[in-house]
Amino acid sequence: MESETAKNAVLERLESIRQKLRTACESAGRDPQAVTLMAVTKTVDPELINTAVDAGVHVLGENRVQEFLGKRELYRADAEVQFIGHLQTNKVKQIIDKVSMIQSVDSLHLAEAIDRAAEHAGLRMPVLLEVNIGGELSKSGVSPAELPALLRDVQQLPCIEVRGLMTIPPPAADPAEQDAVFAEMAALYREMQNEAPLSVLSMGMSGDYESAARHGSTMVRIGSALFGARYYPPKL
């Protein structure tokens, strides 16, 4: 059981995050209500997750299929779960009817697997296309140059609905560099809106969500800033 101290710490961090988001949005002339706060739940105890849900954070982000499947029954019934991690095609069918969106579509191959699983499940799956805005070899996502072709191809799949774009930017050495990357991603998003009716720009995490909100993010994905530093048990 999580202690009341841990739960109160989550609530205090949540209020701080909300205040910083309000300030960031207002400084850019944006409505704070236009930015959804997603709680990223990797390694977090369900009790703490439910503390955030009870406080009004109703969108959860899952990174790992097996961890999600082991925890999902413990979540509040009104919690909406989206998958944000790297997704292997052979695990798509395990989550296709258990999440409301898949944010990490980075190839036509994966999109086709989602489309087949969605057809079999009798649903249409909303997705985001993941963009590797920094061109980092260690990260998944398509390059900005490859994005238009992927968008066109995925739009043709009957059981997928492309809702928008997602990105994990490279670590920034200074705020100006951080702002420049988010501005580039926002410009790419606006460009793609000329090709499709996109409404979601998922960018910004614990260390950079304020900058992301100033540059047009509609969803920030917050883990450690909300729940505290993650603990990874040693591998046996």
pLDDT of residue 174: 85
Question: 234 lies in a domain?
Answer: no
Domain that holds residue 177: 4-227
Question: 235 lies in a domain?
Answer: no
Domain count, the chain: 1
Residue with the two structure tokens 């963009």: 131
Portion of the chain with pLDDT greater than 90, in percent: 88
160-to-113, 121, 157 alpha-carbon distances in Å? 10, 12, 6
Question: 236 lies in a domain?
Answer: no
Cβ contacts of 118-123, under 8 Å, gap ≥ 24: 118/159, 118/160, 119/158, 119/159, 120/93, 120/96, 121/96, 121/97, 123/96, 123/97, 123/159
Question: Whole-number mean pLDDT of the chain?
Answer: 94
Question: 219 lies in a domain?
Answer: yes
Question: 54 lies in a domain?
Answer: yes
Other beta carbons within 10 Å of 14: 21
Distance, in Å, from the CA atom of 184 to the CA atom of 197, rounded to the nearest integer, reads 19
Q: What is the pLDDT of residues 117-168, one digit of tens each?
A: 999 999 999 999 999 988 777 788 999 999 999 999 999 999 999 999 999 9
* CATH code of residue 151: 3.20.20.10
Q: What is the pLDDT of residues 54-113, one digit of tens each?
A: 999 999 999 999 999 999 999 999 999 999 999 999 999 999 999 999 999 999 999 999
pTM as predicted? 0.94
Question: 84 lies in a domain?
Answer: yes
Look up residue 85 and give its amino acid: G
Question: 78 lies in a domain?
Answer: yes
